[in-house]
Structure 1
């Protein structure tokens, strides 16, 4: 039976992640309070940030930037969009 968590991103019960997706305290916080749909939304946002800002996950400064954006995105701190971002038409 899947694990259910109250997702802090979606503000509703959702299927929980199978494991902590990030090391350390932040990873445990994500595992305890973020659902799979919210994590997938973050992965899509992270991909956009990496591509549009030409980030390298191997660069420690870029990883630190992505970690900060991940925390803002998932826990309500107002994650940043890339410069010149225009949302697709509805």
Structure 2
């Protein structure tokens, strides 16, 4: 049976992640409150942030920045896009 959560992003009951994404309290918070669909949306946002800011994901500074952005994305105001960001044309 699927793990169901009330998704903080979509404001409805949805299928949750199969396991916490991190071994921490924040990972547990995501597991209990974020759907698979919202996590997929975050994954795309994270790629964009890595590219736009030319971040090296293995550095502590980039990791801290991404955690802050993730916190805003799921539990804050949604995290603003970089000022220079131009969405890809469909």
Shift, 1:52, TM fit: 1.0
Map of 1:58 onto structure 2: 58
Aligned to 1:73: 73
Shifted more, 27-36 versus 73-82: the winner is 73-82
Deviation sequence 1:40-69 (CA, Å, 0-9, x none): 000000000001110011110110000000
Aligned length: 90
User: Could you list the per-position Cα deviations for residues 9-51 of structure 1 after superposition, in whole angstroms to 9, with x for gaps in the alignment?
Assistant: 1100110101001231110000001000000000000000001
Unaligned stretches of 5+ in structure 1?
none
Partners of 2:11 and 2:76 in 1: CA distance: 11
Which residue is equivalent to 2:11? 11
Q: Which one is further off, 12-21 or 76-85? A: 76-85
- State the distance in 1 between where 2:69 and 2:78 align: 8
Large movers: runs of 4+ above 4 Å:
none
| Conservation of the 8 A alpha-carbon contact between 1:9 and 1:76 | no
Alignment of 1:45 with 2:45, yes or no, is: yes
Query: Cα offset for 1:85?
Result: 1.5
The answer as to 2:85 corresponding to 1:85 is: yes
Question: Deviation at 1:78?
Answer: 3.1
